[in-house]
Amino acid sequence: MIMVHVAQFFWGWLLASLLLGFAMGWISVVQRGEGVAGAWGRALWALVVVLVALALSRAVPGRPGYWLDLGLVMFGLYLAGCTVGAYLRAWVVARSTPPA
């Protein structure tokens, strides 16, 4: 029930996070970085797992829990936009490359 309220009230912010993710995914194909690996990568994954576990268990009550849920949904939409943008950019670049 609360996610319906989040989607109705913050639809603009959710759309903005999706579009920003799409833009960053589109750019990332052209500008390849090394990414986050090693201990920092494991620490970031552990943080995401802990935050998702807190949200699913509803261990954070009230307004902070509400903002945690909203932040996780926005982060998920951002990652989805990044994925779609990167795949579309790779597809467009691959189609425009002349055959060897």
Mean pLDDT of 40-54: 92
Q: What is the pTM of this model?
A: 0.81
Express each pLDDT in 52-84 by its tens digit: 999 999 899 988 988 998 899 999 999 999 999
Examine the pLDDT at 45 and tell me if it is beyond 70. yes
Express each pLDDT in 12-31 by its tens digit: 999 999 999 999 999 886 66
**DSSP-derived secondary structure for 21-78:** HHHHHHHHHHS------HHHHHHHHHHHHHHHHHHHHT-S-HHHHHHHHHHHHHHHHH
Decide: 24 and 85 in contact? Cβ < 8 Å. yes
Tokens linked to 96: 């425009």
Give the per-residue pLDDT at 28.
Answer: 81
Decide: 70 and 6 in contact? Cβ < 8 Å. yes
